[in-house]
Amino acid sequence: MVRHFLSLMDLSSAELKRVIDRAGEFKQALAKDERHTSLQQATLALLFDKSSTRTRVSFETAMTQLGGNSIFLATEHSQLGRGEPVADTARVMSRMVDVIVIRTSGHDMIETFAEHSQVPVINGLTNLYHPCQLLADIQTYKECRGDIAGCEIAWVGDGNNMCHSWINAARQFDFRLRIATPDGFGPNPDLVAVCSDHVTMVESPSEAARGAHAVVTDTWASMGQEGEKEKRIKAFSGYMVDKALMSAADKKAIFMHCLPAYRGFEVVAEVIDGPQSVVWQQAENRLHAQKALLEFLLIEF
């Protein structure tokens, strides 16, 4: 059976925890310069139609360090960009490579691709979810503050793909998520309803942050929303994470952001560049967490 990773719900809670524990082992091993070459001869294809720094570099580096190879294909330079059907592309690519990471807009595209793929498909970001980021984020939380189960996390800002993946994470890792978004920019209400045991929509950023163990945000204008920037900057005024908001949180609260960040918009420089920020650790953990994910999907499960 082929397992895909299109959202955090594709793995059980126990499997996700195993992946995160393994990510920690990979991190320690690399620090000691010990190499695991468990993916020798394996090839990863990355099929991206949106920009990326962290996702691309971390997956390609992960494959190199594990002894495998990777091929990066910008959608516009593939036949998919000229109208070859997604299902045909999936049938062809999956007869050649061992695992495929896709970054695209529509979640339905990645679902169609996975349906016709003989090999695991990993969601490298869609408009709906960004599950790989959450593996690194939960690993980071664990390193900084221990087990996230039972903790209180504040999401402040846009109800976007990252917010949706934090909602899934709240359910899978059993923590409480308080979400504050401006009117009209909330997360998918059906998803919130399904996760209502773990997720609460609140009225203001300070209500979300009060006593929280982590404050999390993301850009106000995701990839594809560049044309809405001005409108969004107006709508999101009051949702910037600043020192005052951080001081409403728990004394030891950490600040998290998947990056790229826009200082002076969703977060002030003094917070993202300050002592409570763990954003570089989150970015680094993409490498370790994705090694663990690749190993899980290709060898272990």
Q: Which does 53 bind (CB under 5 to 8 A by kind): ligand CP, ligand NVA, none?
A: ligand CP
The reply to whether 218 belongs to the active site is yes
Residues 95-154 that bind ligand NVA (CB under 6 A): 125, 130
Applying CB under 6 A, the site for ligand CP has a residue count of: 8
Report the residue from 54, 164, 198, 291 that binds ligand CP according to the rule CB under 6 A. 54
Residues of span 98-127 touching ligand CP by CB under 6 A: 125
181 forms part of the interface with ligand NVA (CB under 6 A): no
Kindly indicate which of the ranges 8-16, 31-39, 52-60, 261-269 contains the residues binding ligand CP, using the contact rule CB under 6 A.
52-60
86 binds ligand NVA (CB under 6 A): no
Q: Is 103 a catalytic residue?
A: yes
Of 49-57, 60-68, 82-90, 163-171: span binding ligand CP (CB under 6 A): 49-57
> Can you tell me the distance from the alpha carbon of 270 to that of 122, in angstroms, rounded to the nearest whole number?
35
Q: Which is nearer to ligand NVA, 211 or 260 (CB)?
A: 260
Nearer to ligand CP, 165 or 248 (CB): 165
Instruction: Verify binding: residue 185, ligand NVA, rule CB under 6 A.
Output: no
Chosen residue from 8, 44, 52, 154 binding ligand CP by CB under 6 A: 52
Among 39, 134, 179, 258, the residue binding ligand CP under the rule CB under 6 A is 258
Enumerate binding residues for ligand CP (CB under 6 A): 52-55, 125, 133, 258-259
